[in-house]
A and B are shown apart, each in its own frame.
Chain A
Amino acid sequence: MTATPDPVAAAVAAAVEHYRGDPNYILQMLREIQEACDWITPEAIDGLQRALLLPRTKIEGVAGFYAHLYTRPHGRYRVLFSDNITDRMLGNLELLEYMCKQLWVERGKTSEEGLVSIDTASCTGMCDQGPALLVNNYAITHVTRQRVDEMCELIRNKVALADWPGEYFRVEDNVRRKDILLGSDCAPGAALRAALPRGPEALLQEIKASKLRGRGGAGFATGLKWEACRNAEGRAHYVVCNADEGEPGTFKDRVLLASYADLVFEGMTLCAFVIGAGRGMLYLRGEYRHLLDRLNAVLERRRRDHLLGANILGRPGFDFDIEIHLGAGAYICGEESALIESLEGKRGTPRNRPPFPVTHGYLDQPTVVNNVETFAASCLVAQGGGARYAGIGTAESTGTKILSVSGDCARPGLYEYAYGVSVGEVLAACGASEVQAVQVSGPSGVCLAAAEFGRRIAFEDVPTAGALMVFDHSRDMFEVARNFVHFFAHESCGFCTPCRVGTSLLRNLMDKLRNGHGSPYDFAEIERLNGILQSMSHCGLGHTACNPVLDTIAKFRPAYERRLQQKEFVPAFDLDWALEPARQMTGRDDAGAHFDTAPGEER
């Protein structure tokens, strides 16, 4: 007797087998099941429940957390237009509307025959080659009307994604300026060969001497982190590379992983050597799905070359390997404790801290979490020595920083500079003119006006995780801030009250201003919300969610004043529109069926 082949059951079985039935890998299993079946059906959850002996609540809770996992059908082709402000400046929304029209589908809905859905997504990290979109999690760059036409044709003809023209999926590196890191000629294994003979303690001393600080934003001293983890007791120690790169406008980790993956993996291996870890994990944002196979190939090669695996480079007992976990659309998973939760196959909500990951990280064991660039830089330290590295940059910010430059400039892409470079120098190099403002380090960073372009990129002046978005004088800085506020509301994990509700309230207020309903009352509300978000929120997302609004109010006030059209309080919603359903139902259109909402009417 042969059973009818059930594709869902087959996909579940394959995913479970791939991850050896380990429930910690539930997110990876869900992702693979969706890749095979287009969505996660209730039957797929049944199957996982049986195979993993997990409660259904747990599986559904995880699947429901990640924006790019679907527990309802979303079509065979799931198109997500990147919606960073830089994509907006390049006309992404017009292209989205156009595509919806061509395919007869409403934004956010699935077409009737279940063929396609079209919506927006938070920044996909292609700001230097936008407008960008994802189809079934694969990035397509440089989207034009013509490309949309072609895509619509392919979708209508149900052409498999694998058969779409390869050039659509070409992702450029756009490295514009190299310094010691992007210009490094460090061959695979060279840093390890330099470090291993001298032992882990010596390497740790070099890292400390280099004064290397984390490149993911907070700038914590890498040497101290490794040391604390090395000294922490635990059954096992872990190395985690944070490649979630969700901060809008940031794309340098993508390039490091595309073309400098050996440096990154080698840095992780150095860290493992110092802290005594046997396992490493690289958490790759789901939007970088296109890198997965390539990265796995690099890992495979490194295993063959004895740079990973048992007895690395012949050193007895130095066993270390790396696996890649993919995210599925959640900016918050860049926060290190949320990232660890996600690695453990849970909802990506930040943990209560202390304790910190260095003592209680992955599976509650000592764990180092570092940014991609931090690990890559550690190779330079291992190879050239800490003192030499410390000689570059400024006193408090040693070494170089890779900046992801996008927005209004002639040459968007990566620029590597020694710390201490002024914002103005970067602007000149990228060919930006008529610059009104620069958003450094993404929405959670800082917005600089022209008078501040002499300021320097450094932890002691303008710290950054790497994003630098340029806005010329034609841009409306209010709309920039509003885009960022929408981003935070969309990405709030929902764990804590102030951020879960506060970011939505803030978004509604910004929309209210946009719709011409703003008054000084609303301005006061924004300031109050800011206070609550900053003081009461659980994690950095909530703490910084108001930054774009505060900065732009302080520096580009006219952009707001234009919006404060009302002197007195008016409703956030359009009063006249509130009668529209009743007008439609009654067919009335007389004067009494309308509100006179002329400005100044209300109080």
Chain B
Amino acid sequence: MNTVIGKKLKVATTSLAGCFGCHMSLLDIDERLFDLIELIEFDRSPLTDIKELGSCDIGIIEGGLCNAENVHVLREFRRQCKILIAIGACAINGGLPAQRNQLSLALILQEVYHTSVGLANGLIPNDPELPLPLAKVRALHEVVNIDYFIPGCPPSADTIWKALNDILGGREPELGHGLIQYD
């Protein structure tokens, strides 16, 4: 990777309404992780267990926005990170969870907690500890400004590697055939 030698870049990652597939794919870059780790150090991330987000150079976010908690984390990332990258289909267009947008939230909650079999006429959980669901699942760029996108479900390790390379090198990511995939 050709980036400015010197201080390691601080990178934070998180998964919102996602499946951790993108994180798995990130780990899939295998031995190239060693190259990467020469250039960056991880801040808050499922990979590090650091819980508090500090000021970072890059934030990488997997998953879309399903609930209030997702939005809080996203905004915190936007505040702390110079560059924000949305990774994967869910972060980019809501993905699978967004298919619930065809139905009204009220209908879904009713169906899940009231009418469906198995739940003995349960109540819709209203514990203040729980984040409330949003009326619609949203893509990240609909709520904060996103600097870069890495599409895929999940993006392959090669795709992530190429995109990060370009971004760290200060270039607009150019994936090309085989690497740019939405599925």
Contacts and interface: CB of A to CB of B under 8 A. Distances in A.
Interface of A: 521, 568-569, 571-573, 575, 577-588, 590, 592-593, 595, 601-603
A601 to B, nearest CB: 8
B79 A603 contact: yes
30 contacts: A568-B145, A569-B145, A571-B142, A575-B71, A577-B135, A578-B136, A579-B134, A580-B135, A581-B104, A581-B105, A581-B106, A581-B135, A582-B132, A582-B134, A585-B109, A585-B110, A585-B124, A586-B124, A586-B125, A587-B126, A588-B126, A592-B68, A592-B129, A592-B131, A592-B132, A593-B68, A595-B68, A595-B71, A601-B75, A602-B143
Nearest to B109: A585
A568 B145 CA distance: 8
Contacts of A595: 68, 71
Given A572-B142, A582-B134, 12 more contacts: A521-B145, A575-B143, A581-B104, A581-B105, A582-B133, A585-B109, A586-B126, A586-B132, A592-B68, A592-B129, A593-B128, A595-B71
A595 B72 CA distance: 9
B128 A578 contact: no
A581 B105 CA distance: 7
Contact of B145 (A575, A577, A603): A603
B100 to A, nearest CB: 12
A197 to B, nearest CB: 71
Contacts of B109: 582, 585
B50 interface: no
B75 A588 contact: no
* Residue of B79, B125, B131, B145 with most chain A CB atoms under a 10 A cut-off: B145
A463 to B, nearest CB: 41
Contacts of B135: 577-582
A414 to B, nearest CB: 48
Contacts of A568: 145
A586 B136 CA distance: 16
Lowest 5 CB-CB distances: which A-B pairs, in order? A586-B126, A582-B132, A569-B145, A603-B78, A581-B105
B116 to A, nearest CB: 15
A593 B132 contact: yes
Contacts of B138: 571
Of the four ranges (under 10, 10 to 19, 20 to 34, 35 or more), the interface on chain B belongs to 20 to 34
Contacts of A571: 138, 142-143
A126 B69 CA distance: 52
A603 B132 CA distance: 22
B134 A569 contact: no
A584 B110 CA distance: 12
Interface string B73-103: 0010011000000000000000000000000
Interface string B115-152: 00000000011101101111110100011110000000
A602 B133 CA distance: 19
B128 A588 contact: yes
Contacts of A578: 134-136
Nearest to B104: A581
Nearest to A568: B145
Contacts of B143: 571, 575, 602
Nearest to B65: A578
B144 A583 contact: no
Contacts of A583: 132
A94 B129 CA distance: 44
A603 B135 CA distance: 21
Given A575-B143, A580-B135, A592 B128 contact: yes
A581 B109 CA distance: 10
A582 B105 contact: yes
Given A585-B109, A588-B126, A595-B71, A579 B142 contact: no
A588 B133 CA distance: 12
A602 B132 contact: no
A585 B132 CA distance: 10
A45 B133 CA distance: 44
A577 B136 CA distance: 11
Nearest to B72: A595
A59 B136 CA distance: 36
Contacts of B128: 588, 590, 592-593
B144 A603 contact: yes
A420 B92 CA distance: 55
B80 to A, nearest CB: 10
A590 B128 CA distance: 7
A602 B75 contact: yes
Contacts of B144: 569, 602-603
A580 to B, nearest CB: 7
B132 to A, nearest CB: 4
Contacts of A577: 135
A447 to B, nearest CB: 31
A457 to B, nearest CB: 45
